[in-house]
Amino acid sequence: MVINLIGRGWAFPPQIDNRGQLALTQGDSEIQQAIQIILSTSPGERVMRPDFGCRIQELVFAPNNLETCALAERYVREALGRWEPRISTTKVKAEPHHENNGVLMLEVSYIIKTTQDPRSLVFPFYLLPDQLESEPETVQ
């Protein structure tokens, strides 16, 4: 019997599908959305699981320098290591955005454990909260 450890869950953000039911996601998309949820949730934000999330929000208003990049990398690696057991994180790289000094670009490379499939996400993190947020980009 083959057990699918990737699973299936609600789409993020929650939405209704064309049948009027909650939209679900599975496979690679499920993992990508889980990573997005982990990185965009601050510890203390969820009442029933106050330690869930990533400390990267502590870096809002931090200077866009090497120390901030190193902290961002550390916080992302720690959060994914703790909250996403379906992947092995192979690289986390934070760099200042080449056009916008208020944005760090986080590149997260990982391997899906059950399939050994390598994946990457590019996740913008806004050091200045008045910047518009956008979805992470998938790099394959």
pLDDT value for 129: 65
Lowest mean pLDDT among 15-19, 32-36, 71-75, 104-108: 15-19
Which residues sit opposite 94 in a β-bridge?
106
Which residues sit opposite 106 in a β-bridge?
94, 123
The mean of the pLDDT values for the chain is 87
Domains of the chain: 8-139 (3.10.450.40)
pTM: 0.81
Amino acid at 10: W
Query: 58-89 pLDDT, tens per residue?
Result: 999 999 999 999 999 999 999 999 999 999 99
pLDDT value for 99: 85
Check: CB of residue 106 under 8 Å from CB of residue 93: yes
